[in-house]
A and B are shown apart, each in its own frame.
Chain A
């Protein structure tokens, strides 16, 4: 009986230790997923939010991207890609002034390179904008780079299964 209790205590300590280690030292996948969720939250622009909260969220946006970030916008009514953090920030601030809504991400898949310095994530994003009956849904492929112990977005590409031309 005593032996069984010891085994149970050891097993509980082992499981507890595992979760504590995971919490203290999260893996790259967990960090990237968490950053994507925070980015989605910061991109959301709800009318009920206070001005300070909105400004803080807008300021945080740049911290998710590398200085040479490339965002491909093919199929979004803009032929040229967005290049660099400054251009991205300007575009974002302009869009945020006009758009209200929430952004959510689903089904995040992350693949970290063997060197641990780059990673690729695939996920579906859904934006529900005020005044629009249909949510905007798009799958994105995002390339990440580790800079000064931080995972930053280096490139964003919308995943297109089919190429269409608007008439």
Chain B
């Protein structure tokens, strides 16, 4: 009988269930899992909880979601994508939908968006925009996006550069 077998026999069942047959290996395994979880949920998938109704009816107040920080690693953000955007840093994010893409000219007429003069069809939008741009229209710079929430009367509009878009929501 070797040492490992004798240790196993002496260990009560509940101890084996909690720490496994080899406690040292279990500790290393646990540490790896914790480290992997921290890396995954801090640098790759950012868990968020929706607060408020600015994205209603697509996302309701209190809903849990995840933002994939690597969603735009290879591809550029697209119109219609729901993304998490930063305000002053990463601790407070806004969940918004991309409406305008870099270089486009955007105006609002009768509560609807017009991109380079053409009406933007938005089946996801709830209500009409209760404002217009000062000066009539907005010309987006290179690398600049226009984002807004789906619940138009409640939502604020933001101009965001690509580095201010944290990532796309997963579901």
Q: Do A and B come from one complex?
A: yes
CB < 8 Å neighbour of B94 from A107, A137, A165: A137
Question: How far, in angstroms, from A123 to B88 measured CA to CA in the complex?
Answer: 6
Residue B30 at the chain A interface, CB threshold 8 Å? no
Q: Complex Cα distance A162/B51, Å?
A: 23
Residue B58 at the chain A interface, CB threshold 8 Å: no
Residues in A with CB closer than 8 Å to B130 are 166-167
For window 13-62 of B, CB contacts with A under 8 Å fall at 51-54, 61
Bound complex: CA A161 to CA B134 (Å):
12
Contact among A106, A135, A139, A166 with B91 in the assembled complex (CB-CB below 8 Å) = A106
Which residues of chain B come closer than 8 Å to A167, judged between CB atoms? 130-132
Instruction: Give the distance in Å from the alpha carbon of A94 to the alpha carbon of B135 in the complex.
Output: 34
Interface size on B, residues (CB 8 A): 27
Indicate if B159 sits at the interface (CB-CB under 8 A): yes
| Complex contacts, B159 vs chain A, CB 8 Å | 161-162
- Known contacts A124-B87, A133-B53, A137-B156; A162/B133 CB under 8 A: yes
With most chain B CB atoms within 10 A of its CB, the pick from A109, A122, A124 is A124
A163 at interface by CB-CB < 8 Å: yes
Partner of B88, one of A134, A139, A163, A166: A139
B124 shortest CB reach to chain A, Å: 18
Chain B: minimal CB distance from A160 (Å): 10
Secondary structure type dominating chain B contacts: loop
Min CB–CB distance B24 → chain A (angstroms): 26
Contact of B92 among A126, A161, A165, A166 (CB under 8 A): A126
- Measured between beta carbons, the chain A residues less than 8 angstroms from B158 are 161-162
- Kindly state the separation between the CA atoms of A106 and B135 in the bound complex, as whole angstroms: 32
Give the Cβ gap from B84 to chain A, nearest Cβ, in Å.
13
Partner among B52, B53, B90 whose Cβ is within 8 Å of the Cβ of A107 = B90
Name A residues whose Cβ lies closer than 8 Å to a Cβ of B.
106-109, 122-124, 126, 133-135, 137, 139, 161-167
| 9 A/B residue pairs, CB under 8 Å, sorted by A | A106-B88, A107-B89, A133-B52, A133-B53, A139-B87, A139-B88, A161-B158, A164-B133, A167-B130
Interface residues of B (CB under 8 A from A): 51-54, 61, 86-92, 94, 130-135, 138, 146, 154, 156-160
